[in-house]
Structure 1
């Protein structure tokens, strides 16, 4: 393990890279978690109808559509410059939101949050690209682990801590606090020069950058087969955990604790351990191990539902364990996705993969709702486990072929960026 850390430090020029990636992913996830988890609570508490709260889903469009402008990150400027510009934009949006409490200025606030989402999604593209190019095949588990742990930390702050600040200090102070948090996480970016290798600047190579080239990436397209099957199972298994716990008679505050602070802490710890697992076992073995854990947990839930013995306590424990298993899964899978990216257009390739994953999440949630409504939770969990088992069966061929195809990529030697 010490050799892996030494190689990572040598590749990245200094030890700030792990903290940098964790901080950047925390900063961007603050925005998404606040809008997705915490803001609906505030709006409902203010008496807003549920159908109007549902319209908040449009604020996630930037994350689903970011692949459209990802080629610009590959073509122009450096990732560090893009990140700094986007961090500044997020901070300014939070400051602007101070004067727009949702109870009286919801329309204006929605516009500010949508702009903030564009900045956060663009920062995500640039950070993903930086993570890919600042690491290599041997150290991607560490980079992916730091990124995932940072995302869970941001979720804990944006989805949990923000509500506490809002409740005790009001809207304006809570927005200022979030601006200060993002500002604090911007400091490491100024210290991060020289983390990644050079961009390919030849005119011919720049003209080839785009989604058409992504479609010709054999490593990515082969790995995508596994990604689709596997993530459908994972997303289906997680889609209805909230309603499932409600139907088990568990109190809303307990569910909030589980899905908020408890889930974020479990994910943070599991993703940190997942980085070590990936470094020790390798990416493919780690993905399979995480997949097996998820199959066992989902199968246990399904069996308990079929037997009528799924007590509320049992459901809580299993689902909390699954949060950890999913976190380990994300670390290993994102490390594999990094390897599938062409070094000449890392932003474009990774953004395309994440956009596909977002579409899968939406589709799987819809399928889960229909399955659960028609056949019950037992069959839903069983179907989710079956998809993951199918992905395990595909792993040796798809992930192996992707790894072999990825070795053909020419990875440039690291030099400092301005």
Structure 2
């Protein structure tokens, strides 16, 4: 009887951890989703060319450079303290942005968004570290699923609801509302005390936290080969979906509802299903399944573009399915990335992986803008699908090598809690 009671308590604790992680990821994704997906839609509606919109991905630079200060989070304070400080910074930046509409103050707004990005990226590092340390081999797939589902809640707010508010109430009100949402999403941070055990203090000289240790991790470097090729395809295919819908004649508030509510629902369902697939099929198989789905959907978009038969309804339907496929992909890929991290420096290792992903996002968005303007959306989606197909061919070698390197510490197949 005592064993059964212990199992019930363990399951209750697991679901509490998952709920808190979902709330934390929702809070940190509001900013990134607004800058990366919603702002380009507003600028395209104002007449900005595709190539200039693509270059605005430089606002995502703090996420690319966060590995530079990630070791500080491993060395000082707690993840919870870092998250609280960053939340306050994000709120203040949103309030400052109320007076800086992009049509007339783009340069000043870019500066504020860049500072906001530093806060959001730092919060992301701390949250990722907390997620890795609060989960284990038995719950890593579920933790990744909860994190992705929470991120899509933030996407609903920052990437979708914000567009609706902006369309009907203007820039200042939309920025103030984002500050209010971040205030509400700070509540889970206060509940996160004790989510992960305190770090063990190492004897000075026995372990050096930093990027040299990160790239000496063979498990991580083998998985990184797949990550680079695969994410180039994903990022190129997703970077201009907002402007693509604008060019199909869909109005802003409808795009907000589709990419916000529709995208969040599709992402939430797919991430929940993805967590179950990872738990049962294993990480590597789940990644390959997600890659096949993404390649097929991008290829479908390319085919209808080349055939010149795409309708707004068909485009929206395929893109919603692709949102779900990307969410499924993130669950499996992030579970793998958690396993690649050295437990002594989770913030540094995970930040390095995500910084590389962010650098890829910036480069892919810039290339996508140029490619889309020069050759059209059909060739853009074709190139994206081709990169994913190459990644699928690399998966058996690169992911198997990473799995072999992690075998002594974390099993490949995540068992049910």
Q: TM-score, normalised by structure 2?
A: 0.84
Secondary structure in structure 1 of the residue aligned to 2:186: helix
Structure 1 residue 106: Cα displacement: 5.8
C-alpha distance in 1 between matches for 2:138 and 2:210: 27
For the pair 1:392 / 2:388, whether they are aligned, the reply is no
How many Å apart are 1:121 and its aligned residue? 0.7
* Alignment partners' CA distance in 1, 2:56 and 2:207: 37
Aligned to 1:251: 250
Q: Distance in 1 between matches of 2:43 and 2:385?
A: 36
Q: Which moved more, 1:200-209 or 1:216-225?
A: 200-209
> 2-side partners of 1:314 and 1:70: how far apart?
42
What secondary structure is seen at the aligned counterpart in 1 of 2:192?
A: coil
Shift of 1:349: 0.7
Q: Equivalents in 2 of 1:220, 1:148: separation in Å?
A: 21
CA contact 1:343–1:409 (8 Å) conserved in 2 = no
Structure 1 residues 89, 134: closer, same or farther in 2, change over 3 A? Answer: same
Q: Contact 2:44–2:243 at 8 Å: present in 1 too?
A: no
- Aligned residue number for residue 296 of structure 2: 296
Check whether the contact 1:8–1:139 (CA below 8 A) recurs between aligned residues. Answer: no
Can you list the C-alpha shifts for 1:288-339, whole angstroms capped at 9, x where unaligned? Answer: 1111212222333344445555444433322221111111011111111111
Q: Distance in 2 between matches of 1:98 and 1:364?
A: 30
> Residue 20 of structure 2 aligns with which residue?
20
> 2:183 & 2:27 partners in 1: Cα distance?
9
Structure-2 change in CA distance of 1:296 and 1:115 (3 Å): closer
* Unaligned 5+ runs, structure 1: 1-5, 412-418
Measured in 1, the distance between the counterparts of 2:81 and 2:16 equals: 17
**CA contact 2:54–2:369 (8 Å) conserved in 1:** no
Judge which range, 262-271 or 342-351, deviates more.
Answer: 262-271
**Hey, what's the Cα distance between the residues in 2 that align with 1:164 and 1:316?**
17
Q: Please tell me whether residue 149 in structure 1 is matched to residue 149 in structure 2.
A: yes
Task: Spell out, residue by residue over 1:218-274, the C-alpha distance to the aligned partner (whole angstroms, 9 max, x if none).
Answer: 111000111112112222333343455556x44344555433432233222222222
In the alignment, is residue 30 of structure 1 matched against residue 30 of structure 2? yes
CA contact (8 A) 1:11 1:134 kept: no
Whether the aligned pair in 2 keeps the contact of 1:13 and 1:194 (CA below 8 Å) is: no
Aligned CA distance change for structure 1 residues 94 and 307 (closer, same or farther; 3 Å):
closer
Q: Distance in 2 between matches of 1:286 and 1:265?
A: 21
1:21-77 Cα shifts (integer Å, max 9, x gaps) = 2212211221222334445666788x7977998885443221111111001001111
| Aligned position for 2:415 | none
The match for 1:267 is: 267
Where in structure 2 are the equivalents of 1:23-102 lying within 5 Å?
Answer: 23-39=23-39, 57-98=57-98
Distance 1:219 1:8 in 2: 34
Counterpart for residue 281 of structure 1: 281
Q: Give distance in 1, aligned partners of 2:63 and 2:32.
A: 9
Give yes or no for contact 1:16–1:188 (8 Å, CA) kept in 2. no
Give me the whole-angstrom Cα distance separating, in 2, the residues matched to 1:42 and 1:376: 21
State the 1:100 CA deviation.
5.6
Residue 328 (1) aligns with residue 325 (2): no
**Contact map agreement 2:61 2:362 (CA 8 A) in 1:** no
1:102 to partner: Cα distance:
5.9
Distance 2:109 2:29 in 1: 18
Q: What are the equivalent positions in structure 2 for 1:90-239 lying under 5 Å apart? A: 90-98=90-98, 109-166=109-166, 173-204=173-204, 208-239=208-239
CA distance in 1, matches of 2:305, 2:168: 41
Q: How far does the alpha carbon of each residue in 1:162-182 deviate from its partner, in whole angstroms, 9 at most, with x for none?
A: 344455555555444333322
Q: Structure 1 CA distance, aligned partners of 2:302 and 2:164?
A: 36
Partner Cα distance (2:48, 2:297) in 1 = 36
CA distance in structure 1 between the partners assigned to 2:351 and 2:9 by the alignment: 26
Is the CA contact (8 Å cut-off) linking 1:12 and 1:195 kept in structure 2? no
Give the number of equivalent residue pairs. 404
How far apart, in 1, do the equivalents of 2:234 and 2:53 lie?
A: 26
Cα RMSD over matched residues?
A: 3.4
Q: 1:290 to 1:205 in 2, by over 3 A?
A: farther
How much has 1:110 moved relative to structure 2?
Answer: 4.3
Offset of residue 382 of structure 1: 3.6
> How big is the shift at 1:276?
2.0
Q: TM-score, normalised by structure 1?
A: 0.84
**2-side partners of 1:84 and 1:141: how far apart?**
26
1:156 Cα deviation after fit: 1.4
Q: Are 1:348 and 2:348 counterparts?
A: yes
Q: Which runs of 5+ in 2 are unaligned?
A: 1-5, 412-417
Aligned equivalents of 1:236, 1:136: Cα separation in 2: 32
